[in-house]
């Protein structure tokens, strides 16, 4: 029970009858309303004030910090650059100073908002300088201590944000913006043992895309160098996860009618291409070696067609129901 609840109960209020600035929460105590929190003024031990507060509840070293206990935590706008005897030793998202509520007019000149505004201005000026010199780059991160943006290169960020810079802002090298994708093949092997005989089933899925959309060729080349074929992990389907589980857990002892079961997946033929390239002769050669060859694009088209057929079936069933209902209503009108 927080301090606010104790005080209101001591003053004779109940769950059903209480001031308008509080509400009964799911935690079985009173809490301030959002409107009340927006109007409150809070003061730090050093004298800085802050306007408004959200639902700021957290626990630190056995103490519950929240507006209802008159000790919510906020971040110190001085950070560790200015020594302060009141700053708490906490790692809660930079919230390291306990404020308390005061009743007086808000003064922006001694406010937390003014100091945060200075930081925003410093960061904005640094960002404008960065963009003017090298263009927008998602791999540049704000470093408060140095007051500038510093490189934190990650090719996956370039891919995620679709970087279109012709010259990389970090390496200062030209980028090949040709749209490509990373394609690879997946070899699935099922080996079953029954009655002392071993049967194998081999399935080769070709043309699997690593990314849903095309990416810059430069990014694709760097991605392969960073992650490589050794660390390449294809996305597993539900059937893959199921077979992998049985193989790992029951493979040696067997399960059901099988004495042993082994399932493996392997990535083959990783390449960079503008679009999927099919080699009919190679497909025929793989089939001759006993592989079941399928292409991801064909599987996707089949899935889309089946989805479209299911939708048409639902729509047809809906029309039939509506027609049947219309006939029933018409029959009732004829009787009347």
pLDDT, tens digit (0-9, with 9 covering 90-100), for 243-281: 888 888 877 776 666 677 889 898 888 999 999 889 899
Structure tokens, 304 = 């889309």
Q: What is the pLDDT of residues 285-331, one digit of tens each?
A: 999 999 999 999 989 899 999 999 999 999 999 999 999 888 888 87
Of the candidates 105, 113, 101, the residue with the CA atom closest to the CA atom of residue 36? 101
In this structure, is residue 323 part of a structural domain? no
Please state, in angstroms and rounded to a whole number, the distance separating the CA atoms of residues 135 and 127: 10
In this structure, is residue 188 part of a structural domain? yes
pLDDT of residue 230: 63
- For 107-152, the DSSP string reads -GGGBHHHHHHHHHHHHHHHHHHHHHHH---TTEEEETTTTEEEE-
In this structure, is residue 275 part of a structural domain? yes
Query: End-to-end alpha-carbon separation of the chain, Å?
Result: 67
pLDDT of residue 257: 64
Assess contact for 182 and 270: CB atoms under 8 A. Answer: yes
In this structure, is residue 161 part of a structural domain? no
Q: How far is CA 121 from CA 37, 61, 94, in A?
A: 27, 35, 20
Same domain, residue pair 96 and 187:
no
Assess contact for 24 and 87: CB atoms under 8 A. Answer: no
In this structure, is residue 218 part of a structural domain? no
Same domain, residue pair 83 and 188:
no
* Domain-ending residue, one of 77, 103, 129: 103
| SS3 category, 181 | strand
pLDDT of residue 252: 74
* Domain-ending residue, one of 81, 103, 125: 103
In this structure, is residue 292 part of a structural domain? yes
Q: What are phi and psi of 4, to 5 degrees?
A: -60, -45
Domain of 92? 3-103
* Domain-ending residue, one of 64, 80, 103: 103
Residues near 275 by beta carbon (within 8 Å), at least 6 away in sequence: 181
Of the candidates 136, 131, 1, the residue with the CA atom closest to the CA atom of residue 66? 1
Same domain, residue pair 295 and 187:
yes
In this structure, is residue 22 part of a structural domain? yes
pTM here?
A: 0.69
Same domain, residue pair 187 and 285:
yes
Same domain, residue pair 192 and 293:
yes
Please state, in angstroms and rounded to a whole number, the distance separating the CA atoms of residues 313 and 306: 10
Same domain, residue pair 89 and 195:
no
Helix then strand count (H, E) for the chain reads: 8, 16
Assess contact for 297 and 246: CB atoms under 8 A. Answer: no
Overall number of domains in the chain: 2
pLDDT of residue 227: 82
In this structure, is residue 316 part of a structural domain? no
In order along its 336 residues, the chain shows pLDDT tens digits of 899 999 999 999 999 999 999 999 988 999 999 999 999 999 999 999 999 988 778 887 788 999 999 999 998 899 888 888 888 876 655 678 899 999 989 999 999 999 999 999 999 999 999 888 878 888 999 999 999 999 999 999 999 999 988 888 888 889 999 999 999 999 999 988 877 788 889 999 999 999 989 999 999 999 998 887 666 778 888 999 988 888 888 777 766 666 778 898 988 889 999 998 898 999 999 999 999 999 999 898 999 999 999 999 999 999 999 998 888 888 777 776
Same domain, residue pair 97 and 195:
no
Strands 100-102 and 41-43: antiparallel
- For 294-316, the DSSP string reads EEHHHHHHHHHHHHHHHHHHHHH
């Amino acid at each position: 029970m927080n301090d606010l609840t104790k005080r209101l109960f001591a003053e004779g209020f109940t769950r059903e009858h209480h001031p308008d600035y509080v509400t009964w929460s799911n935690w079985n105590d009173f809490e301030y309303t959002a409107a009340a929190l927006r109007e409150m003024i809070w003061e730090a031990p050093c004298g800085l004030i802050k306007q408004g507060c959200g639902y700021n509840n957290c626990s630190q070293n056995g103490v519950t910090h929240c507006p209802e206990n008159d000790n919510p935590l906020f971040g110190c706008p001085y950070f560790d650059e200015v020594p302060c005897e009141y700053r708490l030793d906490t790692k809660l998202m930079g919230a390291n100073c306990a404020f308390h509520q005061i009743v007086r007019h808000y003064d922006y000149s001694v406010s937390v908002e003014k100091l945060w505004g200075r930081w925003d201005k410093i960061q904005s000026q640094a960002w404008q300088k960065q963009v003017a010199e090298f263009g927008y780059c998602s791999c540049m991160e704000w470093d408060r201590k140095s007051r500038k943006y510093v490189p934190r290169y990650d090719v996956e960020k370039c891919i995620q944000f679709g970087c279109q810079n012709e010259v990389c802002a970090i390496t200062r090298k030209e980028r090949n913006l040709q749209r490509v994708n990373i394609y690879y093949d997946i070899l699935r092997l099922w080996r079953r043992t029954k009655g002392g005989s071993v049967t194998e089933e081999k399935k080769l899925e070709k043309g699997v895309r690593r990314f849903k959309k095309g990416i810059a060729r430069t990014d694709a080349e760097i991605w392969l160098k960073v992650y490589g074929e050794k660390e390449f992990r294809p996305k597993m389907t539900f059937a893959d996860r199921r077979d992998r589980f049985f193989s790992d857990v029951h493979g040696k002892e067997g399960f059901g009618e099988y004495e042993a079961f082994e399932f493996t997946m392997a990535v083959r033929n990783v390449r960079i291409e503008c679009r999927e390239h099919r080699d009919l002769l190679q497909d025929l050669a793989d089939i001759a070696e006993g592989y079941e060859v399928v292409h991801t694009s064909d599987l996707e088209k089949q899935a889309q067609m089946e989805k479209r057929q299911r939708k048409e079936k639902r729509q047809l069933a809906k029309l039939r129901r509506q027609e049947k209902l219309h006939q029933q209503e018409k029959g009732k009108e004829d009787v009347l």
